[in-house]
Amino acid sequence: MASFLVGVMRRASRRPTSPLAEALLSLGVPIVNSRMPISGLAFELLPISERGALLTAVERFMGIGMEEAFSVLVAFNVKTSALFDPRKSPPVALLPLLSRLSHHPHGPHRRRVQPDHRPTSERAVRASWARLKRRMKAEPSS
């Protein structure tokens, strides 16, 4: 769980104006002030100062309590996509809490609207037919 929360703190530090960073700041988690870590290195390769700052932020977040912390995240309209990379699964213990967050990062998915099926002009049909014939002529026959 701690490694998941380290990832959350790193994501929030990269986007200091995001709802996630604002929610953490309201909880008293010092994430935006230190702007860590911009290096993008794995946790083990970070300088000691950056590791210490991350672990301090995680400790403060865990000290608040998960239920209260997730209530604040819901109040700030934090999306699940802001917390973790969808290619990696979050800890099983957090799944009920994560389900309370919104799943749509940019609103609902929109389907492409089909154009109206109107009669096409004779000129457009001839041009389309000519393109098709050129394509068929250019392709080698099998």
Which two three-digit tokens encode residue 112?
């492409």
pTM to 2 decimal places:
0.63
Give the mean model confidence (pLDDT) for residues 92-112.
71
Q: In percent, how much of the chain has pLDDT > 70?
A: 81
Domain count, the chain: 1
Calpha distance 39→29 (Å, rounded): 21
Give the mean pLDDT of the chain: 80
Residue 31 domain-assigned? Answer: yes
Residue 11 falls inside a structural domain: yes
Residue 141 has a pLDDT of 65
Q: Is residue 138 part of a domain?
A: no
Q: 121 in a domain, yes or no?
A: no
pLDDT tens digits along 27-82: 888 875 555 555 667 778 878 888 888 888 889 988 988 888 888 888 888 888 88
DSSP per-residue codes, 76-132: TT-BHHHHS-TTSPPPGGGHHHHTTSB--BTBSPPPPPPPP--PPPHHHHHHHHHHH
